[in-house]
Amino acid sequence: MFRFLCKELEFISSSSSIIRGWLTSTRPRDVYFLQTQSLKSKPISSNQTSVTTSYLMKSCGWSLESATKASKKITIRSVEEANSVVELFRTHGFTDNQTTDIITKRPSLLLANPYVNLKPKIEYFKSLGMSIPDIGKIISRKPIILSRDLENQIIPTCNFVKTLVYTDNKLVTLLKTFVPMLNCNIEKIMSPNISMLRTYGVPEPNISRLMNHQPSTLTLTSNCLEAKILKVEKLGFGLKSKRFILALAMVTKLSESRWEQKMGAYKSLGWSEEEILSAFRLQPHVMLCSVEKIKNIMAFFVNKLGWSPSAVSKYPNLMMLSLEKRIIPRCSVLQILFSKGLVKKNASIPSLLILSERAFLEKFVIKYQSEIPELGKAYVGSEVLRQLQVVEAQKGNPN
């Protein structure tokens, strides 16, 4: 989109004029991000509004309606200054699409001083060991990051998080997966939540694990987090156990209505409430399965394999498996082996279903495929199977 930016800038620069001064503000760091129309003593001319509208339409691909609406909130200082912002992104390795996304989501960045307000933040992320492609992805997803103060928001947040994840590498990984972290108020939200977990006796490694894998839990209000801590404890999880953290994350993800929906789905398929909670204690992720997946897996085990609903509830990890890619192919292979007496019929199907892909293939497919060719067809679609077949072929043909 921005590869033809210079040509478009020539189009609108002929009608450009510099707006009369920056917006005064009690928060200097916010000045460059929003040029409001509150300067009533020096009203914005229709010509300036036209420049902004044209810029957003021609350079960002906005509709006339959207560009006109935005031009009432921001006014480009000059085409040259707007272009310097775009050029900063380009020279730092951002793609045209990323630059377009940034400006589209946060057009007020066109008013920024690129070298004073934008470049230092990009350089800081680089200093953490973050790659340019990753920086581009993060900022294009949440360009509001660039409107946060570097010294008072971004750096303190990163330093605080690092005390919990310990290394720059883990910090970078966390920022890539949970960009809103940089918008969180550390002093008012995250720090009190960490203190609360410590007060309840949650071990430090578990708090670190929560930060690494489910950081959004730590951005809840303190009252909300405490309510969820008490709920998880009431469900039977010890505060010092690793599963407590996982259960807390699951409860955080699910609203009360969604929780009840999942409870209802399991009950409708024959699980008692105690069986549901017992399964949740063994594998908290069972409550994140879609209702459709729950029904399909239960239908297979009950209708095809003849299991009772209670029997399925004892192996909640089965709900984590793909019916099409894991359960059905493996059961098809096992059925053939059972029929030929090569595997005992009292073998534990759940344990065979959760075996690693390579281990299952080597033990039950590759081992018997020469005498039972249909095993490969029964396990169709396995990339690992194809790789192992190549290896076996190479062993048999050293030349």
**Angle at which helices 168-177 and 155-165 pack, to 10 degrees?**
110
Q: For residue 50, tell me if it sits in a domain.
A: yes
Instruction: Decide which of 84, 110, 141 is a domain's last residue.
Output: 141
The answer to whether residue 21 is domain-embedded is yes
Q: Say if 318 falls within a structural domain.
A: no
Q: What is the pTM of this model?
A: 0.70
Q: Which of 107, 123, 141 is the last residue of a domain?
A: 141
Residue type (1 letter), 134: D
Q: Please, are residues 8 and 30 in contact by the beta-carbon 8 Å criterion?
A: no
Measured between alpha carbons, how far is 167 from 352 in angstroms, rounded to an integer? 38
Per the domain annotation, does 121 fall within a domain? yes
Residue 310 located in a structural domain: no
DSSP 121-183: HHHHHHHTT--HHHHHHHHHH-GGGGGS-IIIIIHHHHHHHHHHH-SHHHHHHHHHH-GGGGG
Domain that holds residue 104: 1-141
In one letter, which amino acid is 365? V
- In this prediction, residue 75 carries a pLDDT of 78
Residue 385 is assigned to a structural domain of this protein: yes
In a domain, 11, yes or no: yes
Look at the chain and report how many structural domains it folds into. 2
User: Would you say residue 328 lies in a domain?
Assistant: no
What does the block give as tokens for 228?
Answer: 């969820």
Q: Is 335 helix (H, G, I), strand (E, B) or coil?
A: helix
80: closest CA among 33, 143, 22, 12?
12
Q: Pick from 95, 120, 141: which residue ends a domain?
A: 141
The amino acid that residue 296 corresponds to is: N
Residue with tokens 């003849």: 306
Q: pLDDT tens digits, the chain, 399 residues: what are they? A: 444 344 444 433 433 332 223 223 333 333 333 333 333 334 444 555 677 787 777 766 777 887 777 777 777 777 788 888 989 999 999 998 898 889 888 888 988 899 999 999 999 999 999 999 999 999 999 999 999 999 999 999 999 999 888 888 899 988 888 888 888 888 889 999 999 999 999 999 999 999 988 899 999 999 999 999 999 999 999 999 999 999 999 999 999 999 999 999 999 999 999 999 999 999 999 999 999 999 999 999 999 999 999 999 999 999 999 999 999 999 999 999 999 989 887 889 999 999 999 999 999 998 998 888 888 888 875 444 444 444 444 545 544
Q: What is the pLDDT of residue 48?
A: 54
User: What is the Cα–Cα distance from 234 to 280, expressed in whole angstroms?
Assistant: 13
